[in-house]
Amino acid sequence: MKMSEKTKSYDARQKFSNMPLEKKQKENTNLAMKYPSKIPVIIYTKTKGVPEPEKCKYLIDKNVSVAEFLSVLRKYIKLSQSESIFLFTENNTIPASSQLMTQIYDQHRNEDKFLYLEYTFENTFG
């Protein structure tokens, strides 16, 4: 990917990823203490032309399903009803919509204790 082809959310993800591990772990520890029922999620896309949310860091309730999270994410990135959104973990796994976000977090969180999810979308009805 050329430098000029990067998206805003991917750049934010890269900037966060390049922070020292200790700093990210400290941030995670502070978040866990302040919000024990939430998990930290970093959302990004590498696809140029895909709508992007204003921010890339989210605190998600542990008991939210992937389907519920996708519904909230759709609102943040303002997708039309004819567009389907897809999430991928760092190892390119597509989580089941019935899974709880805490299950995805436990299985796929990074060593910095943040869950990185890439999203993309497709036109499904025309």
Q: Name the burial class of residue 4, with classes exposed (0-12), middle (13-18) and buried (19+) by CB atoms within 10 angstroms of its CB.
A: exposed
Which is more confidently placed, 107 or 55? 107
Per residue in 3-54, pLDDT tens? Answer: 335 666 667 677 777 788 888 889 889 999 999 999 999 988 887 777 777 7
Q: What domains, with CATH codes, occur in the chain?
A: 3-123 (3.10.20.90)
Confirm whether pTM is higher than 0.85.
no
Which of 93, 94, 92 shows the shortest CA–CA distance to 84? 94
Number of separate helices (H) and strands (E) present in the chain: 4, 4
Residue 2 pLDDT:
39
